[in-house]
Chain A
């Protein structure tokens, strides 16, 4: 492995043009990942035709690098402005933005940079050492029932995040689950709650919903404070977290690496579930669950470690089996095909040099997050000095563009503003925005896999429990729910 890695490294950095492509991918991924709506997918779609003029290794390597740095890029705007660049950065905003409001933006961004790099590098190392056996294990043992059980396990802890009481947390999660049912059902393609609008047949897209619930509702809240004279600008601070602060969260980092990697390796799941599950596990194992959603460093660490840990893992089913884990890895298939190659078992035998250049590039791209991210962060934090009356319209404009551009539908802009108004009203009443978003995103994934799983077990719920992984996750989820209910009856409301 080490010899192959060194050969891949030498090939990657032995040619100036290849180095140029690598640097372009690092910077482009970070930039496009940071702008909401204009995600790394946008950059990848723009670049796809040009990869025909590159060698196969250069083309696939470019996309792999964009995947690594693009997954990190959205964390910055999530932390500074409550605008997640992509759904996989949404959990980062749960605690990252409250940290910014408390004058701890530097610590949040620094932790995001470091943990993205750690998660990505760890994932790349596992990817390099065990791609084929891991892919085979995942494909043989994890099916729709297990994925549903995983989502159920994740949702069980969601009520703890951000609500004034656990009851309000649960109502928020249920609202998210309800929103997730809009659009065609995952089994028969029957329209639900679309009120005759064909555009709603596709359901509520994640990006406009997230932008509305996070960014727009926040603008409304800050505007209200501004009008009533209660507004105070976030304190400007560029202090990064100290070594000891980060070391105190070592268990959270390791746990998120495992969670992120596990989610990333599942075909069709990817980094979004990884980030939410990583965050959820941090809440589950914390002694101070109620502090999550109010600006807890561990929330940022868990989310950002997990989503980057999913990047290397998502390459495993792609390269070993030809099964893309998400939209960007699906585009990588097109890059392979443009060069008359097919990802899958044969690529390890037919094009080993390509594989090892990609592996090496992903390793160094994750390291680059650390260096480029730290340099970039010192500059980008100065955006916080912009007065609110200038910053708010800029954020609204950016969010509107982001909501529109992902599908080119005016409906998505409308959805964003409606979500913003609902979010504004619910936040005032102590309901949980993270809970709604968790319900929305996990609900869509969960419903689809539940329906598939039920078909597989012939609508016999008891058969679910004949699958060991499924049983363990569901039992653990039920225990979490019971604990949550116990707390709900004996918990005093939080003062937020």
Chain B
């Protein structure tokens, strides 16, 4: 079934995405003026708990650690990270929703929470059932090949080669159907009129190893996760799924330049608190997490992960806009894909 790509994006999605593009120059800038804030009624007088729905070694685990360190450095309040991996984030989300809404429990989550709600509205809506404190990482996806690859060297030659393989070409991707990665690949293959077998890897190391070892022909990933392979000269990007060429990838064409007319879905990671948490505590947490984004340690972390290539920061209002846009966008796509949208 062909998707009608031009129809499926709402105005809201377009506005949000173009805002991300337009604000590339703001990447890494601090937008919270207040360097300190009084604790409301002494809150917090003990350590916070941060539920992380993924393991400690992955992208979420690392951003949770970096943000916790920055908040602690800024406020002196310790944060205990409680990793509850599994079920594409549902185990952690369920545990968080069951935790007391007293402001002492915060949640780290990624765009998977938005796509899960888009598919099944009984799942928590991160923009309505939770209050986003800050989105501190926003990034785009790319397609990579081995640097020493000779069968194809850029996107046009890759597409031509894949088309000649009659569906036998392979690309390593994540495993979950309906995930951001899978949806974008569907856009790309349909827009490029090519068939490519996606190989499901739920962990990063085997996924990257598969490309390094020649087990697959290409890799779909975000640049921060494969930076070491880029720096070492093992991988090279041949396509950026973003509306403009980011500065550090100025020699890599975007999907739009390659004739693909769809709005890019973005990977974003942020921090949340229960919507029923006391409002004065929520205000303090918003300040702490948004200001912690400005801390040198956090900025250094984001730099190391290519997370300041585009604007990675959204305050509460910006995060709500982004999440709502993503939900609308995913829901339209899922309906077009024939998935059972509830």
A residues whose Cβ falls under 8 Å from a Cβ of B: 45, 48-49, 138-144, 183-184, 186-191, 198-199, 201-203, 267-268, 317, 321-325, 327, 330-331, 333-334, 337, 340, 342-346, 407-409, 448, 451-452, 455-456, 458
B33-78 with Cβ < 8 A to chain A: 55-58, 61-62, 65, 69
Closest Cβ–Cβ distance, residue B100 to chain A (whole Å): 14
Asked whether, in the complex, the Cβ of A344 is within 8 Å of the Cβ of B228, the reply is yes
Q: CB distance B86 to A187 under 8 Å?
A: no
Is the pair B202, A186 in contact by a Cβ cutoff of 8 Å?
A: yes
> Any chain A CB within 8 A of the CB of B158?
no
> Is B143 an interface residue, CB under 8 A from the partner?
no
A325 with B205: CB separation less than 8 A:
yes
Q: Which residues of A contact B94 (CB under 8 A)?
A: 198-199
A140-B213, A334-B65, A456-B199 given; A323·B205 CB < 8 A:
yes
Q: Is B156 an interface residue (CB 8 A)?
A: no
Q: What separation, in Å, do the CA atoms of A203 and B90 have in the docked complex?
A: 12
Find A346's partner among B179, B214, B231 (CB 8 Å cutoff): B231
> Least Cβ distance of B92 to chain A in Å?
10
15 residue pairs bridging A and B, Cβ less than 8 Å apart:
A48-B56, A138-B213, A187-B200, A198-B90, A267-B205, A267-B206, A323-B208, A323-B212, A325-B205, A331-B57, A344-B234, A407-B83, A408-B82, A455-B198, A455-B199
Q: Which residues of B contact A45 (CB under 8 A)?
A: 56, 81, 83
A143, A184, A186, A325: which contacts B210 (Cβ < 8 A)? Answer: A143
Q: Are A324 and B197 in contact (CB under 8 A)?
A: no
Q: Which residues of B contact A323 (CB under 8 A)?
A: 205-206, 208-209, 212
Establish whether residues A342 and B91, one from each chain, have CB atoms under 8 Å apart when the complex forms.
no
Q: How many residues of B contact A (CB 8 A)?
A: 53
Q: In the bound complex, what is the Cα–Cα distance between A456 and B167 (angstroms)?
A: 11
Chain B interface (Cβ within 8 Å of chain A)? Answer: 55-58, 61-62, 65, 69, 81-88, 90-91, 93-95, 167-168, 170, 175-179, 197-203, 205-206, 208-210, 212-216, 227-229, 231-232, 234, 304
Q: Within the assembled complex, what's the spacing in Å between the Cα atoms of A342 and B208?
A: 15
Contact of A198 among B81, B87, B227 (CB under 8 A): B87
Chain A residues, Cβ within 8 Å of B65: 48-49, 334
Cα-based distance from A323 to B207 in the complex (angstroms): 10
In the assembly, what is the distance between CA of A228 and CA of B234, in Å? Answer: 66
CB nearest to A459 among chain B residues: B197
Main secondary structure of the interface of B (DSSP, over half): mixed
Residues of B within 8 A of A187 (CB): 175, 200
Give the docked Cα–Cα distance between A342 and B226 (Å).
11
Residues of A near B231 (CB, < 8 A) are 342, 346
Cα distance A45–B52 in the bound complex, in angstroms: 13
For the complex formed, measure the closest distance between the CB of B224 and the CB atoms of chain A, giving whole angstroms.
Answer: 11
B142 to chain A, nearest CB (A): 18
Q: Which of B84, B176, B215 contacts A143 (CB 8 A)?
A: B215
Smallest CB-CB separation from A346: which chain B residue? B232
The docked-state distance in angstroms from the alpha carbon of A322 to that of B211 is 13
CB distance from B129 to the nearest CB of A (A): 15
Rounded to whole angstroms, the CA-CA distance of A325 and B214 in the bound complex is: 18
- Centre residue among B86, B168, B227 by max chain A CB count within 10 A: B86
CA distance A130 to B22 in the complex (A): 50
Complex: how many Å from CA A311 to CA B294? 39
A184 to B175, CA, bound (A): 10
Indicate which residue in B203, B216, B228 contacts A456 across the interface (CB closer than 8 Å): B216
State A188–B214 Cα separation when bound (angstroms).
23
B61 to chain A, nearest CB (A): 8
CB distance from A9 to the nearest CB of B (A): 28
- A202: chain B residues at CB < 8 Å are 85-87, 91
Contacts of B198 on A, CB cut-off 8 Å?
A: 455
Q: Of all chain B residues, which has the CB nearest A199?
A: B91
A406 to B198, CA, bound (A): 32
Flag if A49 contacts B69 (CB, 8 Å): yes
